[in-house]
Amino acid sequence: MFNGLRMASLTIILIIMIIMNCKSFEFNNCVMKEIVNEIQLLRNVNHHKNIIQFFGITKRKDNENMNPDYLLILEYADSGTLRNYLKKNFTKLDWNIKLQFAIQISNAVSCMHQKGIIHRDLHSNNILIHQNMIKIADFGLSRRIEEVSSNNKDIFGILPYIDPQLLKDQANDGKKYKANKKSDVYSVGVLLWEISSGRVPFESDDTLGLTLEILNGKRETPIANTSIDYWCWEDNPDDRPNIQQVLSDLKLINLDTNEMETCENTFENDIRHNNNNNSIDNNGSLNSSTHYSLQI
């Protein structure tokens, strides 16, 4: 599963990730189109330090039935998923580190949205950590392949991160609602709660009844001692911020951030003027001398 390639004096550690197995998925033009689309998406944002780096694609022939597995060769993340990282290290993380993670996630999603890319599948098992840095991975490819090849839309396990508008399609089988940038924003809001709390959203809830509860407006309980209200969680997508607003708000409460945009059309100058008014107190709470309320 892991390969080490030595080039001159530089050792590059790669992870080979199986993205399509012909024994599990019907191999057809639709599936191949999704694979090609994933490669194109990765190439468009391959320069961003908070998005997993893409090195190439290959295929491996199955010795038993001669059907090939198609493989993406991706950057290796040394600390696993964000979910597991938070479980192991949450008590050691101060608010500066949590804010850096939140900024890095929002920064990467902002870059994707600037490139016209919608992730569609943001959750803490699709975000990796490498040398204490966020790496967004898996642009929803495996779920899209499953949909086009088998029409199986199993959403359990990632349910809390899904835009409620998409859940309405599942519940009512009505007019098709397509995932969009505001769907990613909803997922980012859930991720920011997870980073703040150190808990998986709705971990103890009954999964079967959770869809209806979310559709009826249920959200996780805001974290005490943080001046946060959860704007990203609005049911109506038009009432949610865009990802640039989320990123700007996060940076306004972070004195020491060195995060810089790496995409074109950055908006760094728009958010610098207020940084000097914000602080993090000794109790780990987010404060602002201008009584700024971070809307997540």
User: Is 121 known to be catalytic?
Assistant: yes
121, 138, 163, 249: which one is catalytic? 121
Q: Which residue has the tokens 């909803």?
A: 186
Q: What average pLDDT does the chain have?
A: 73
- β-strands 228-229, 68-75: how paired? unpaired
Lowest mean pLDDT among 20-24, 89-93, 230-234, 270-274: 270-274
Read off the pLDDT of each residue in 111-120 and give the average, rounded to a whole number: 90
- What is the C-alpha separation between 20 and 36, in angstroms, rounded? 12
pLDDT, tens digit, 9 for 90 and up, residues 130-182: 999 999 987 655 455 445 444 444 555 689 999 999 988 655 555 688 899 99
170 or 7, which is more confident: 170
Average pLDDT for 179-194: 95
Residue-level pLDDT at 169:
65
Residue pair 287/294 in contact by the 8 Å Cβ criterion? no
Q: Give the model's pLDDT for residue 269.
A: 36
Q: Is the pLDDT of residue 36 over 70?
A: yes
Chain centroid to Cα 19, Å, comes to 18
**Mean pLDDT in residue range 182-187:** 96
* pLDDT tens per residue, range 214-233: 999 999 988 876 645 578 99
Give, for 197, the enclosing helix (H) or strand (E).
Answer: helix 181-197
pLDDT of residue 220: 92
pLDDT at residue 244 above 70?
yes
3-state secondary structure of 280: strand
| pLDDT category of residue 280 using cuts at 50, 70 and 90 | very low
d(CA 200, CA 285) in angstroms, rounded, equals 21
Rounded to 5°, angle at Cα 48 from 47 and 49: 115
- What span, in angstroms and rounded, lies between the C-alpha atoms of 279 and 285? 9
pTM equals 0.74
Identify the pLDDT of residue 113: 93
* Burial state string for 53-87 with b = 16 or more CB within 10 A and e = fewer than 16: bbbeeeeeeeeeeeeebbbbbbbbbebebbbebbe
**pLDDT tens readout for residues 65-107:** 656 666 777 888 999 999 999 999 999 999 899 999 999 999 9
pLDDT greater than 90 at residue 197: yes
Domains, in order of start, for the chain = 80-295 (1.10.510.10)
